[in-house]
């Protein structure tokens, strides 16, 4: 079995990735990532790779801490706001939010920015049921549960 490390992959890329020391602030890391149009920075301490900090860490560790149900928009809108803030506007083709409690899926695509949703409760998920499909870029909005063929 061959053991390949992250450092091996970095060496294969041929250029040094953006690295910051562990004491770099979140603000400075995000600023660098935006300037370089990157989704992550590597943490390097004493010449060794010590970790990675990503956009997901930004959401998990900073944005969500500021959630206040008394002043923040509805949770689905809030989730889309977060996704909009971390999306790579050239590559992000769609955004999806799961409402686990209500078994609903909300999404929007690059081609159709309207928020659409469907309820998983409305589908028979047994193996005997025929597959249903939907063109995700169709010009629809709101509840699209009955639009699947």
d(CA 104, CA 2): 42
For 116-139, the pLDDT digits (tens) are: 999 999 999 889 999 999 998 889
For 21-34, the pLDDT digits (tens) are: 878 877 788 888 88
For 61-109, the pLDDT digits (tens) are: 656 566 665 665 567 777 888 788 777 777 788 899 998 888 899 999 9
Instruction: Give the burial class of 149: count Cβ atoms within 10 A of its Cβ; 0-12 exposed, 13-18 middle, 19 or more buried.
Output: exposed
- Residue 140 has a pLDDT of 92
More confident residue, 79 or 7: 79
More confident residue, 50 or 148: 148
- Residue 74 has a pLDDT of 65
d(CA 118, CA 81): 20
More confident residue, 131 or 46: 131
d(CA 81, CA 98): 14
Q: Which helix (H) or strand (E) holds 33?
A: helix 26-36
With contact defined as beta carbons under 8 Å apart, do 121 and 99 qualify?
no
Q: Which of 14-18, 59-63, 82-86, 141-145 has the highest mean pLDDT?
A: 141-145
Q: What is the CA radius of gyration of the chain?
A: 20
More confident residue, 148 or 70: 148
């Amino acid at each position: 079995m061959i053991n390949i490390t992250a450092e091996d992959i970095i060496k294969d890329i041929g250029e040094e990735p953006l690295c910051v020391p562990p004491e770099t602030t979140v603000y400075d890391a995000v600023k660098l990532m935006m300037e370089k149009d990157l989704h992550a920075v590597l943490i390097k301490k004493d010449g060794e790779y010590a970790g990675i900090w990503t956009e997901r860490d930004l959401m998990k560790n900073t944005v969500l801490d500021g959630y206040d149900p008394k002043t923040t928009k509805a949770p689905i809108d809030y989730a889309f706001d977060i996704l909009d803030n971390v999306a790579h506007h050239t590559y992000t083709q769609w955004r999806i939010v799961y409402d686990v409690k209500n078994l609903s899926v909300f999404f929007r695509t690059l081609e159709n920015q309207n928020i659409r949703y469907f309820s998983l409760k409305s589908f028979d998920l047994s193996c005997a049921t025929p597959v249903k499909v939907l063109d995700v870029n169709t010009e629809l909005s709101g509840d699209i549960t009955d639009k699947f063929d």
